[in-house]
Structure 1
Amino acid sequence: MCSFAVALALGGSAAPFAQPRPVAAWRAQHERQIVDELLQLVSIPNVAGTDADTRRNADLLDTLFTRRGFKVEQTDGPGSPVVFARLDAPSPSGVLTLYLHYDGQPVNATEWTRCKPFAPCIHSTTGPVASDPARTSFESQWRVYGRSASDDKGPIVAVLNAVEALRATGGGPTWSLRVVLDGEEEAGSGNFRRFAAARGADLKADLAITLDGPRHPSGRPTLYFGVRGGAGMTLTVYGAKNDLHSGNYGNWAPDPSMRLARLLASMKDDKGRVTIEHFYRDVTPLSATDMRAIEDTPNIEVALKRDFLVALPERGEERLEKKLNEPTLSILAMEAGGGLGAPARSAIPATASARIEMRLVNGLDPAKQNALVADHIRRQGYFVVEGRDPTDLERLTHALIARMDPRAGSTAPRVSMDDPMARAVVAALTRDGRQLVRLPTLGGSMPFSTFSSQMPTVGFSMVNHDNNQHGPDENLRIQNLWEGIEMMAAIMTMAR
C-alpha cells in the first residue's frame, strides 16, 4: 500500500462536507489556471544564489500578487530580492503574516527521471500525462514534477488562488494579509533577515504562519510549533603529507579513510543513538500538551519502512514524531582520494574528509554542540586544529590529527500549542471535519524565530510527505494543492 493509500485509511484526506464548499467549487472551475500558474513558476530556474534567475522569479511573483489586488514591493541590492505583498481587508479581524520562499536547492539534471528540473511535467500513477491545452480538469492523484513544485512554489500558488477564490465567492479574506517571500531560504535567508530587522513593524501581525515543509506521512494536514536549528562541520583526518603508492607503502602509510571511518563510527552506537558526551543534555523537554499531540498522531512506522525500504530504523522502538524533538547527527558526504567519480589510482590518500550535520532542537546552542563534537574527537586521541592545516611539527608530534571547519549554526525555536491564536487556526482547519497532525517540531529549518520571537507563530504544511524536496524528482501531488487552497481560504476567514 502506498503512502497516500495509508493516509486514506488513517483519515488523511478531508472528511465529507455537510454543506457545499464555494472555494472548492471555484477551484474545480479554475483548475487549468491554477496548474498553469504552478508550471509557469516552476519553469523558472531558482537555485539559491543565482541572482538573475531569482529576480525573474521575483518579477513573476510581483505580477501574480498584483493581479490579486496586493500592493507589492521588492527589495533592492545584491542577492535575491525579498518580495513583500500587502492586502488590507475592510474591517479586518486582524493581521496575518505569511512567510514562504521561492528559491530552491541545487539540481543535477542527470539525476531526474520524470523530466528536467525546470521543464515541469505531470505524471499519473502509471506514467506521464500528455500535455493538452484543452484540458480543464486534473486528477487529484497526478503529480507535478519539477524543482520547488512542493518546496515552496506549490504553497505560493495555493495562497494566490485562495485569495482569488475568496474574492470571487465571498468578498475576500476577512484578515489583512502580509505575505513575505524569501529568495534565499535555501542559502541562509540573509536578505530576508535584513528586511525583517529593518521592516519589523510591517511584518508585525496578530499571527505569523510559515508555509513550508511536508505533511506528516499519514497524509493529514500538519501544523508545527517549532523547527530544527542546525550546526555542523567539515572534518578532515590526515595520513602522510601526500598520496603514497599503495603497493610500495601499503602496510606502512597510515590510511586516513580507515581512521575517519572509525572516528565517525565512534559517534553513534549500533542502534543510532549519539554517544557524544552531553549531546542530549540541554534539550528542552516536551510539555504535556506536546506529548498528547504526539500520542494523537497516527502511527505510521510500518508504512514508512515499506515506503522507504528500511528494514530497521535507527532506534526503531521509538516513534519518528518523538525523535523529531531530539538532535540528530548525520554524515552527509565523505571524500578521499578524489572520490569514486575520479579516475582510479593505486594510492593511499593523504587526507579523508566528511561533512557532519547536526539538526538541533529547542534548548541547544549550535556553538556548544560543535564544541561537544570536538571534545569527543579529542577523547578518541586526536590532536584537533580548527580552520587550518596542521604544521609539519604538529604532524611529526601527533599520530592522530583532525582538522575541524565548523559552520555557523542556528537555534531551534518552539512555541506553545496552547496559544489562543494557534487554537484559532486549529479550529479553522478542523471545522469541516478534517483531522490534523500537530507536531511540536518540524524536521526542517527556516527563519521561524524571526516571527516567533515577536508574535504568535505557527507553521502549516500542506504538501505531500513523499515529495522528494531537495532531491531529484521533486513533486507535488495535485490533491495537496487543491486542499491547500481550501485550507488557506479557511485560515484567511477564520474566527478570531
Structure 2
Amino acid sequence: MIHAETLRAEVDSRFDDYLETLFGLLRQPSISAQGIGVDECAELVTQTLRDAGIDARILTTDGSPVAYGEVGPDDAEFTLLVYGHYDVQPPEPLEEWDSEPFEPTIRNERIYARGVGDNKGQFLGSILAYKLLSELGAAPPIKLKFLIEGEEENGSKNLRAFVNTNRDLLSADAFFAADGPMHPSGRPVVFFGVRGMLAAEVKVRGANRDLHSGNWGGPIPNGAWKLVELLSTMRTPDGRAAIEGFYDGVTPPTEFELKLLEEIPFDEAGTKAHLGITEFDGPADMSYYEKIMFQPTFTIAGINSGYTGAGKKSVIPSEAVVRLESRLVPGQQPDQVLEAIEQHVRMYIPDAEITKLAGQPPSKTSPELPVSRAAVSAMEEAYGVAPVVMPLLGATAPNYVFTDDLGLPAIWTTYANYDEDNHAPNENMTLRAFRDGIVASAVLFQRMAEVDVT
C-alpha cells in the first residue's frame, strides 16, 4: 500500500496536468435545469475516464446521459461503485461573479468556476486517483465502476429507472461518493446517509372570489383564517408535528450513533450569533445534531393569501395556499407521511386541495460495518486528522436508489472546502482541497481492497 505522503508528492508532480483536466471540464457548461451543454459534458467526462485508463461509454436515460466506466479484474473480491454528477446549477446572477463562471480562474489559492466544488472537482478526484495508482503500478485489486450522472441538480429524476434497468451492470459490494463541503473546522466529513423529503401544497378556499371586507366582512369565510387555524392544529409548542401517524416507523439512533453525535464539533453560541437567533427550535430533550439527523421536520416553506402589496386593499381573501415540507428520517416514507397529513387536513377542512410536489425516501447505512470503518480510517490517513463522522446528513440526496434498490452500503465523503459557495456566485474549490481529494480517493481505494465482504 502506498501511503498518503508518498501519494501527495506524486500528485504534486502531476498537478499541472490534473488542473488542466479539471479546467477542461469546468469550461464546458452543463446546466441540467436549462438543458445547456449536458450531452457535450457527458462526452467529455467519458473521454476523461478513458484517458485515465478506464473502459468507458455513454449510457442513455430518459433524460440526460450517464457517463459510465469500469476497470479492474472481473474476478475481484470487492467491487466499489463510484458516483458523481457532471451537471451544475445555473450561474445566475452573473453580475455577482468576480470572473466568468465557465472560465476557471485561480485567485488566492482557489479555483473559481461553476461546478468546481459541486461536483466536477470532487468526482474527478476519484478518476485521477485510479489513474495515479495505475501509473505507480499499484492499481488496487478491486473492481471500480464509475457512474457519473447529469441530472442531480434537477432532482435525479431518471436515476432510479436507470439504476433498476442496469442492476447487473451496477452490481457492487459498496457505493462511494464525494460531494459537499468539509466541516467548518477544516476536517473532512464522512457520512452514511441522508434524510428524505416530502413537499406538498395545501390550498383552502372561502368564497368563490375575493370580496370587499366592509360589505361582506363578518358572515363570509376568510380563506386566510381557515388556513391559519388549520396550521395551528398541526404543530405542538415544542416543535413536534401534532399529526396522527406522522412519526410511525421512526427509527431511533443506536448507542453507537449517539456517541458519534457527541463527538461532532459544535459551537452553539457561534451558530446562534451567525444566524441571528437566541434559541434553537424543536424538542428540548434532543441535541442539535439529533434534531438534524434523527428527528423529522414539519416546515412551513411558504404561505400566500390576500394582498400584501403597496398601500391598502380592503379584501376578504377567497383562497390561501401553504407549501409544506418535511425532512424524513429512517423508518419513514414520503407517501406514508403524506397520507397522515391528508387525513389530518380533511378532519378540519374536507374540501381542501392537497397536492404532492416531491418526495424522496431517507436512507442510511450502519457506520459500524467493516466497509464504513475502512472509509473513516482511509480519510484519517489521507488528511492526517480524524474526520467528522455523521450517521446521516440533514439534507436529501438519491441515496436510497443505491441502498434500497441495489442493497449497497453507502459511504459519502466531502472533498470541497467549507466555504465553497456551491449554488452561489463565485463557487470555488481550494487548490489544496482538489489535491487532497485525489490523495483521499487513492487511499480509500487501497483500503477497500482490505475489506472482508464474506
How big is each residue's C-alpha offset from its partner over 1:33-84, in whole Å with a ceiling of 9 and x where there is no partner? 4444444434433333544521122111112111111111112354101111
Give the corresponding residue for 1:295: 262
CA shift in 2, pair 1:300/1:39, >3 Å: farther
Choose from 429, 434, 441 the match for 1:476: 429
Matches within 5 A, 1:20-31: 21-31=5-15
Name the SS of the counterpart of 1:479 in structure 2: helix
Distance 1:371 1:195, change over 3 A: closer
In structure 1, the partner of 2:180 is 213
Aligned counterpart, 2:400: 449
Cα distance in 1 for residues equivalent to 2:390 and 2:215: 57
| Alignment-derived partner of residue 390 in structure 1 | none
Q: Which amino acid aligns with 2:362?
A: A
**CA drift at 1:320:** 3.2
Q: Is the 8 A contact 2:297 2:328 kept in 1?
A: yes
Q: Within 5 A, what are the aligned runs for 1:59-458?
A: 59-76=43-60, 78-88=62-72, 94-106=78-90, 108-109=92-93, 112-115=96-99, 117-118=101-102, 121-122=105-106, 124=108, 139=109, 142=110, 144-146=112-114, 148-244=115-211, 254-264=221-231, 266-315=233-282, 318-323=286-291, 324-336=293-305, 346=313, 348=315, 349-379=317-347, 381-384=348-351, 402-407=352-357, 409-431=359-381, 433-453=384-404, 454-458=407-411
CA gap 1:77/1:363 in 2 versus in 1, 3 angstroms:
closer
Deviation at 1:327, TM superposition (A): 1.0
Give the counterpart letter for 1:441 in structure 2: L
- Partners of 2:175 and 2:408 within 8 A in 1: yes
1:269-302 CA-to-partner distances (Å, cap 9, x unmatched) read 4553333334334211111221121122223333
Task: Deviation per CA, 1:441-471: give whole Å up to 9, x if none.
Answer: 1222223233224233322222334444445
Would the alpha carbon gap of residues 226 and 77 (structure 1) be closer, same or farther in structure 2, given more than 3 Å must change?
A: closer
Measure the CA separation in 2 of the matches of 1:292 and 1:299: 14
State whether residues 123 and 177 of structure 2, in contact with CA within 8 Å, keep that contact through their aligned partners in structure 1.
no
Aligned to 1:8: none
User: What is the TM-score with the length of structure 2 in the denominator?
Assistant: 0.84
1:359 Cα deviation from its structure 2 partner: 1.3
- Does the residue aligned with 1:409 lie in a helix, a strand or coil? strand
What are the superposed Cα offsets for residues 12-43 of structure 1, whole Å, 9 maximum, x if unpaired? xxxxxxx8723222333444444444444344
Mark the CA change 1:106 to 1:86 in structure 2 (over 3 Å): closer, same or farther: same
Structure 2 counterpart SS, 1:200: coil
Identity of paired residues, percent? Answer: 29
For residues 169-218 of structure 1, give each alpha carbon's deviation from its aligned partner in whole angstroms, at most 9, with x where no partner exists.
45434432101012122334343322322221221222221333343444
Contact 2:195 2:393 in 1 (8 A): yes
Residues 194 and 90 of structure 1: is their aligned pair in 2 closer, same or farther, counting only changes over 3 Å? closer
Q: Which amino acid aligns with 1:297?
A: I
Stretch moving more, 424-433 or 67-76: 424-433
Q: Distance in 2 between matches of 1:455 and 1:249?
A: 61
Residue-by-residue CA offset, 1:195-251 (whole Å, 9 max, x unaligned): 322221221222221333343444322222222222121122223323445676667
TM-score (norm 1): 0.78
Q: SS at the partner of 2:87? A: coil
Distance 1:115 1:338 in 2: 40
Deviation at 1:408, TM superposition (A): 5.1
Contact conserved, 2:420 with 2:429, CA < 8 A, in 1?
A: yes
Give the CA deviation at 1:375.
2.9
- 1:464 equivalent to 2:417? Answer yes
Q: 2:432 corresponds to which letter in structure 1?
A: Q
* CA distance in structure 1 between the aligned counterparts of 2:133 and 2:365, rounded to whole angstroms: 30
Aligned AA for 1:274?
A
Aligned amino acid, residue 72 of structure 2: D
2-side partners of 1:307 and 1:170: how far apart? Answer: 49
CA displacement 1:133-168 (0-9 Å, x = unmatched): xxxxxx2xx36352x332222212212322233234
Does the CA contact (< 8 Å) of 1:226 and 1:448 recur in 2? Answer: yes
Structure 1 portions without partners, runs of 5+? 1-18, 125-138, 385-401
- How far apart in 1 are the matches of 2:324 and 2:60? 35
Distance 2:299 2:424 in 1: 17
Aligned-pair CA distance for 1:440: 1.5
CA distance in 2, matches of 1:366, 1:217: 31
Question: CA 1:69/1:441 → structure 2, altered by over 3 Å: closer, same or farther?
Answer: same
Q: Deviations over 1:418-457 (max 9, x none)?
A: 2122222222222364201222212222232332242333
- Which residue identity is paired with 2:349? Y
SS in 1 for 2:294: coil
Secondary structure of 2:194's counterpart equals coil
Structure 2: gaps (5+ residues): none
Alignment of 1:4-43 (within 5 A): 21-43=5-27
**Further displaced range: 252-261 or 477-486:** 252-261
